[in-house]
Chain A
Amino acid sequence: MTACSPARTAGRLLTGEFTLADGRRAVPVFQLLTERYRSPEYSPEAVSARCGVAAQKIRRIAAELAHVAFERAIVHPQPWTDCGGRRHESMIGRPVAMHAMRGISAHSNGFHTCRALHLLQMLLGAIDCPGGFRYEAPFPRPCPAAPKPAGKTSAPGQPLDGMPLGHPCGPEDLLVDAAGGPLRIDKAYSWEAPLAAHGLMHMVIRNAWAGDPYPIDTLFLYMTNLSWNSAMNTADTTGMLTDKRADGEYRIPRIIYSDAFFSEMVAFADLVLPDTTYLERWDCISLLDRPISTADGPADSIRRPVLKPDRDVRPFQDVLIELGAKLDLPGFVARDGSPLYEDYADYLVRHERKPGIGSLAGWRGRDGGSDGVGEPNPGQLDKYIENQCFWKYELPPEQRYFKHANRDYLETAKRFGFIEKAEPIVLQIYCEPLQRFRLAARGHGAVQPPDAHRGRIETYFDPLPIWYVPFSEAAVDGQTFPLHAVTQRPMPMYHSWHSQNAWLRQILSHNRLYVNRARAAELGLDDEDWVWVVSHHSRLKCQIRLMEGVNPDTVWTWNAIGKRAGAWNLSADAPESTRGFLLNHLIAELLPAASTVRYANCDPVTGQAAWYDLRVRIEKALPDQAGNAEPQFPAVSRLPNMASPPGIVRDARMDPGAPGGGR
Chain B
Amino acid sequence: MTSLPAPQPGAKKLGLVIDLDTCVGCHACVVSCKEWNAFGETGPLPEFGPYQAEPWGVWLNRVHTFEVGDGEDGRTVYFPKNCYHCEEPDCVTVCPTGASYKRAEDGIVLVDAALCIGCKLCSWACPYGAREFDEDGGVMKKCTLCVDRIYDENLPEGDRIPACVAACPTSARHFGDLGDASSAVSKLVAERGGCDSMPEMGYRPVSKYLPPRSIRPTRVRDERSEHKTAGGNGFLQWIDRVLSR
| Residue positions of A touching B, CB distance < 8 A | 1, 4, 7-8, 10-12, 14-15, 30-31, 34-35, 38, 59-60, 63-64, 66-68, 70-72, 123, 491-492, 502-507, 509, 517-518, 547-549, 569-571, 573-575, 578, 645-653, 658, 660-663
Contact = CB atoms under 8 A, between A and B. Distances in A.
Given A571-B51, A646-B50, A64 B31 contact: no
A105 B233 CA distance: 33
A586 to B, nearest CB: 26
Interface string B1-28: 0000000000000000000000011111
Contacts of A67: 218, 220-221, 224
B55 A502 contact: yes
Contacts of A31: 232, 236
Interface stretch (B66-74, B109-117, B122-130): B66-74
A491 B78 CA distance: 13
The 4 A-B residue pairs with the shortest CB-CB distance in the complex, in nearest-first order: A548-B74, A645-B51, A502-B50, A491-B26
B243 A8 contact: yes
Given A15-B232, A66-B224, A571 B240 contact: no
A518 B67 CA distance: 14
B38 A651 contact: yes
Contacts of A647: 48-49, 52
Nearest to A651: B44
A496 to B, nearest CB: 15
Given A30-B239, A71-B221, A518-B71, A549 B76 contact: yes
Nearest to A663: B39
Interface of B: 24-28, 30-31, 34-36, 38-39, 43-44, 46-57, 59, 67, 69-71, 74-76, 136, 217-218, 220-221, 224-225, 227, 231-233, 235-236, 239-240, 242-245
Contact of B225 (A59, A578, A648, A653): A59
B67 A547 contact: yes
A570 B70 CA distance: 39
Given A31-B232, A663-B36, 13 more contacts: A1-B245, A15-B232, A63-B220, A491-B24, A492-B26, A492-B31, A503-B47, A548-B67, A573-B53, A574-B53, A648-B136, A652-B47, A660-B34
B14 to A, nearest CB: 23
Contacts of B53: 571, 573-575, 578
A647 B136 CA distance: 12
Given A63-B224, A491-B27, A648-B136, A663 B57 contact: no
A125 to B, nearest CB: 8
A72 B244 CA distance: 16
B47 A502 contact: yes
12 contacts: A11-B239, A30-B239, A64-B218, A64-B220, A67-B224, A502-B57, A517-B70, A548-B69, A549-B74, A651-B38, A663-B35, A663-B39
A11 B55 CA distance: 64
Contacts of A71: 221
B203 to A, nearest CB: 27
A1 B245 CA distance: 8
Max chain A Cβ within 10 angstroms of own Cβ: one of B51, B218, B232, B239 = B51
A69 B126 CA distance: 50
Nearest to A662: B39
B127 to A, nearest CB: 23
Contacts of B55: 502, 505-506, 509
A38 B235 contact: yes
Contacts of A573: 52-53
B218 A7 contact: no
A402 to B, nearest CB: 16
A649 B50 contact: yes
A68 B50 contact: no
A565 B118 CA distance: 37
Contact of A650 (B27, B46, B67, B76): B46
A653 B50 contact: no
A15 B233 contact: yes
A14 B241 CA distance: 12
Contacts of A1: 245
A30 B236 contact: yes
B51 A648 contact: no
A549 B67 CA distance: 8
B231 to A, nearest CB: 7
Contacts of A492: 26-28, 30-31
B235 A34 contact: yes
Contacts of B31: 492, 503-504, 661
A509 B54 CA distance: 9
Nearest to B241: A11
Contacts of B220: 60, 63-64, 67
A649 B58 CA distance: 11
A104 B235 CA distance: 27
B47 A648 contact: yes
A636 to B, nearest CB: 14
B46 A648 contact: yes
Nearest to B46: A650
Contacts of B240: 11-12, 14
Contacts of B225: 59-60, 63
